[in-house]
Amino acid sequence: MGILLRKAIEKKRNFLINKLINKGVYKKNDIHLFELTLTDLENEYIKISKIEEKESDDHSPCLRVHFI
């Protein structure tokens, strides 16, 4: 694998690990985030983001538009 590709993968892994830590995720099934593959990290980030999005939708006030 080329050096640039390896660095790009590592940069994306670190980005996702930091995002997950900021969301309060430190492990997945007793496995530390730094042990996961890039694909596993991407899938976990997508899963957590969808859960947060659903929770925020559940708590958002309903807006009604009335036309006259």
- Break the chain into its structural domains and give their ranges: 3-52
**Is the distance from CB of 68 to CB of 52 less than 8 angstroms?**
no
Q: Per-residue confidence at 19, pLDDT binned at 50, 70, 90?
A: very high
Percent of the chain residues past pLDDT 90, beyond the cut: 71
pTM over 0.85: no
| Residue 60, pLDDT above cutoff 90 | no
pLDDT, average across residues 4-13 = 97
5 DSSP assignment: H
pLDDT, average across residues 23-40 = 94
34 DSSP assignment: G
| Residue 57, pLDDT above cutoff 80 | no
